[in-house]
C-alpha cells in the first residue's frame, strides 16, 4: 500500500507569514493528490486536486506543487481563517485504496 508521510505534524505561524506543508509518497502517485482543510468544527473542504489545481472559490494564496515524490501545499500569506488542520490525500490507487497523510495542525503563533 502507498504510504503518505506528512510534515510537519504541527506548525505555529503568524498572520501574514508564508508556510509550506509537505507530503512524501512511498510510491509513485503521478500527481494524484489533493489537499484538504479541516476546521475546528470538523468541516472538511478540498482546496487542491491533481497536486496543483485550485478548487473553485479557494483563495489564490493557496497553491500546490510537486517535486518528485514530495508534494507541497503553500499558503503565501496567512489569514486568520487559515488556522486549521490540513491533510493530503492520494488517490492513485483508486478505486482500491485511498491514503491520507497524518495531518498538519496549523496554529497561530
48-54 long-range contacts (CB < 8 A, ≥24 apart) are 48/73
| Cell numbers for 85 | 488542520
Binders in 40-99 for other proteins, by CB under 8 A: 42-46, 49-50, 55, 87, 89, 91, 94-99
Choose among 87, 82, 75, 73: nearest CA to 107.
82
Residue of 70, 102, 107, 108 interacting with other proteins (CB under 8 A):
102
For the bound state, the minimum distance from the C-beta of residue 85 to other proteins, rounded and expressed in Å, comes to 9
| Region near other proteins per CB under 8 A, out of 17-25, 29-37, 60-68, 74-82 | 29-37
CB 1, CB 93: distance < 8 Å = yes
Question: Looking at beta carbons only, is 76 or 92 nearer to other proteins?
Answer: 92
Within 10 A of 100 (CB to CB), how many other CB atoms are there?
A: 14
Q: Which parts of this chain interact with other proteins (CB under 8 A)?
A: 32, 34, 36, 42-46, 49-50, 55, 87, 89, 91, 94-103
Amino acid at each position: 500500500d502507498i504510504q503518505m508521510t506528512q510534515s510537519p505534524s504541527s506548525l505555529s505561524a503568524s498572520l501574514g507569514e508564508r508556510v509550506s506543508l509537505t507530503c512524501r509518497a512511498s510510491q509513485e502517485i503521478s500527481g494524484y493528490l489533493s489537499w484538504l482543510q479541516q476546521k475546528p468544527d470538523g468541516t472538511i473542504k478540498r482546496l487542491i486536486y491533481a497536486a496543483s489545481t485550485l478548487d473553485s472559490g479557494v483563495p489564490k494564496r493557496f497553491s500546490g506543487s510537486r517535486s518528485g515524490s514530495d508534494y507541497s501545499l503553500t499558503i503565501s500569506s496567512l489569514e486568520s481563517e487559515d488556522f486549521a488542520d490540513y491533510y493530503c490525500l492520494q488517490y492513485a490507487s483508486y478505486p482500491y485504496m485511498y491514503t491520507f497523510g497524518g495531518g498538519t495542525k496549523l496554529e497561530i503563533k
